[in-house]
């Protein structure tokens, strides 16, 4: 079911880097960028993470937390964060519960082969836990800046 702007974001609770447990309830009162990506340490996912990291201070100034979500295990997330100096949380959804709830675990096709995977998607959630904006089938160049502008436009 596609996400609808203005509706409550699907609840979640996932293990994340730094030994944190991240949940929608725990983020209430803050704006949140959830960016869903296919795999740690691949070219597109690395560039996307680096672009969000480069704007990290501006997101923080806008009162917005960045959380990357993929089906990779925490051990992989820890290596990925350390390798690229990422200082925002990466959540692990190995069971794909959240990925399914947000509609980003989809059938994909490459070279005629069909398989299940994460469709690169970003969701901006407002301070009340409602979906403020959704970007589907994200193209990485310029995306993090576009998300930052949307987060700033939500106001403090």
pLDDT digits (tens, 9 = 90+) for 34-85: 999 999 999 899 999 999 999 999 999 999 999 999 999 999 999 999 999 9
Q: Point out the catalytic residue in the list 9, 14, 34, 45.
A: 45
Percent of the residues in the chain that have a pLDDT greater than 90, as a whole number: 85
Contacts of residue 31, defined as CB under 8 A and 6 or more positions apart, other chains included, come to 62, 63, 64, 65, 124, 125, 126, 127, 132, 151, 154
At residue 107, the 3 state secondary structure works out as: strand
pLDDT at site 110: 83
Whether residue 1 is predicted with pLDDT greater than 70 in this model: the reply is: no
- Distance, C-alpha 108 to centroid of its chain: 19
Cα separation of 46 and 50, whole Å?
6
> Has 45 been annotated as catalytic?
yes
Which H, E and C letters describe 16-76, residue by residue?
A: EHHHCEEECHHHCCCEEEEEECCCCCCHHHHHHHHHHHHCHHHHHHCCEEEEEEECCCHHH
Mean pLDDT of the chain: 93
Of 41 and 156, which is predicted with more confidence? Answer: 41
Mean pLDDT of 23-35: 94
């Amino acid at each position: 079911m596609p996400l609808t702007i203005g509706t409550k974001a699907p609840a979640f609770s996932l293990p994340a880097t730094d030994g944190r447990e991240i949940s929608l309830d725990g983020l209430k009162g803050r704006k949140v960028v959830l960016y869903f990506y296919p795999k740690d340490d691949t070219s597109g996912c690395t560039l996307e993470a680096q672009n969000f990291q480069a704007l990290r201070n501006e997101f923080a100034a806008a009162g917005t937390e960045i959380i990357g979500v993929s089906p990779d295990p925490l051990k992989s997330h820890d290596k990925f964060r350390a390798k690229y100096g990422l200082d925002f949380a990466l959540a692990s959804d190995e069971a794909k519960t959240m990925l399914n709830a947000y509609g980003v675990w989809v059938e994909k096709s490459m070279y005629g082969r069909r398989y299940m995977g994460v469709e690169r998607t970003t969701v901006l959630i407002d301070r009340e836990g409602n979906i403020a904006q959704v970007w589907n089938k994200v193209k990485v160049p310029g995306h993090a800046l576009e998300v930052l502008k949307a987060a700033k436009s939500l106001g403090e």
